[in-house]
Amino acid sequence: MTELSFADGVARAMTEADWPAVQAGFMHSFLDHRAPAIWAWRYQLHLPGQSGWIAAISQANDGTLAAFVGASVHRCWIHGQELPLLLVRDHYSHPLWRGRVGAARQGPLVMAAKTFHAMADANAVALAVGIGLDRTTRLEHLLGLCSLYQNGSWWQLTLPAAHKPNYGHAVQVLATDFSEPIWNDFWAERRQGLKAALVRDQAFLAWRFADRQGRCYWRFALWSVLSAVPVGFVVLTPTDAGQAVLVDIMLPEQPQAVRDAWNPIVQWLQARGISQVRTFLGKACPAYAWLARWGFVPLEAPLPVQAVYRSYSALPEGIDLNQDYAFTLADSDLY
């Protein structure tokens, strides 16, 4: 594709050979070291070629990296079909390029983003989603590079010190690592009730919620004697002392089964000293309707972040992503 130019450089598609410069640029930009294993997980470097990631860089005329925008490649369920989806992972500019005159609208980060989106469109990607810093995402929104997802909200549940068990036995809650192929059967059944969502098949669930450096997940499979496949799952991660975040959730379709599943999870959390649970859910998520019933209350965003999306020409007509996309924290790597 045609390269885009900015003052003193060009933006272009990233290649395998650019990874060392991208990783060094990250360290300079954030004064933080990201372990090689995390880079490999984040961009699915175990997959052949570039099937696991798409990225663009802006390169200064002297050969140094000026900006980077990258995403991992997945699939989404849109109106009865699976299409490519990108989870945006990183977008940064080197400190040497920040604050320059014109950098906000014509600088290396904007040019890298435009190149990235052109690549996604050329590769028949349907949409890109993610959660980014509020300041950056709002600027990109003003420049027409993304849309703000405004049909979701943050919630918080305060747990009492003790929880009196009050549930039946329609559902059994068991730990899982999502390694069993039966999760593909689960997704095949449950996707029918969604208009637009990230594909949650076995490969994605096992990859997304694998314990890794600095992260651990509490993964619960929901089983019923009336079903040969799981009827749902709940994934949480501990954060600060006494706090946890609900990262992803798909619930049984029967109300009594939902109650029988949630109550033992609450009891399990209390036994480990958890007093608060936070989450972000889109209204298109079936679980959204249960939050208030469980005692969750609306919460101001605990971090200066904003959920965003970008659609491309491969997206089928008649879909309103702001209304129809079932956004959860699994659509980012915030947690």
What is the mean predicted confidence (pLDDT) over 81-90?
96
What is the mean predicted confidence (pLDDT) over 299-322?
94
Residues facing 232 on adjacent strands: 222
CATH number of 154-302: 3.40.630.30
DSSP type of residue 225: T
The Cα 248–Cα 187 span in angstroms is 14
Q: Rounded to whole angstroms, what are the CA distances from 47 to 41, 43, 71, 274, 334?
A: 10, 9, 14, 37, 23
The Cα 251–Cα 118 span in angstroms is 37
Q: What is the pLDDT of residue 100?
A: 59
Instruction: Take residue 83 and report the two structure tokens written for it.
Output: 């299409």
For residues 130 and 90, the answer to whether their CB atoms sit within 8 Å is: no
What is the mean predicted confidence (pLDDT) over 106-134?
93
For residues 203 and 187, the answer to whether their CB atoms sit within 8 Å is: no
For residues 224 and 257, the answer to whether their CB atoms sit within 8 Å is: yes
Contacts 24+ apart (CB under 8 A), 223-231: 223/171, 223/172, 223/173, 223/174, 224/170, 224/171, 224/172, 224/252, 224/257, 225/172, 226/170, 228/185, 229/182, 229/185, 229/186, 229/189, 230/176, 230/182, 230/183, 230/186, 231/171, 231/257, 231/261
**81 three-class SS:** strand
Domain boundaries, the chain: 4-125, 154-302
Do the strands 81-93 and 65-78 form a parallel or antiparallel pair, or are they unpaired?
antiparallel
Do the strands 232-238 and 127-133 form a parallel or antiparallel pair, or are they unpaired?
unpaired
Residue 168 has pLDDT above 80, yes or no: no
The Cα 12–Cα 105 span in angstroms is 17
CATH fold label, 4-125: Aminopeptidase (3.40.630)
Q: Same CATH fold, 154-302 and 4-125? A: yes
Between 296 and 166, where is the model more confident?
296
For residues 197 and 156, the answer to whether their CB atoms sit within 8 Å is: no
What is the mean predicted confidence (pLDDT) over 304-317?
95
* Percent of the chain surpassing pLDDT 70: 94
Instruction: Take residue 286 and report the two structure tokens written for it.
Output: 């079936």
The Cα 272–Cα 245 span in angstroms is 14
50: confidence class by pLDDT, cuts 50, 70, 90: confident
Residue 135 has pLDDT above 90, yes or no: no
Residue 242 has pLDDT above 60, yes or no: yes
Q: What is the DSSP string of 130-183?
A: EEEEHHHHHHHHHTTS-EE--SEEEEEEEPPS-------SS-EEEE--S-STHH
96-100, 178-182, 208-212: the lowest-pLDDT one: 96-100
Q: What is the pLDDT of residue 101?
A: 47
Q: What is the pLDDT of residue 8?
A: 80
What is the mean predicted confidence (pLDDT) over 4-26?
88
Do the strands 243-250 and 276-282 form a parallel or antiparallel pair, or are they unpaired?
parallel
What is the mean predicted confidence (pLDDT) over 295-305?
95
119 CB burial (10 A radius; 0-12, 13-18, 19+): buried
pTM listed for this prediction: 0.93
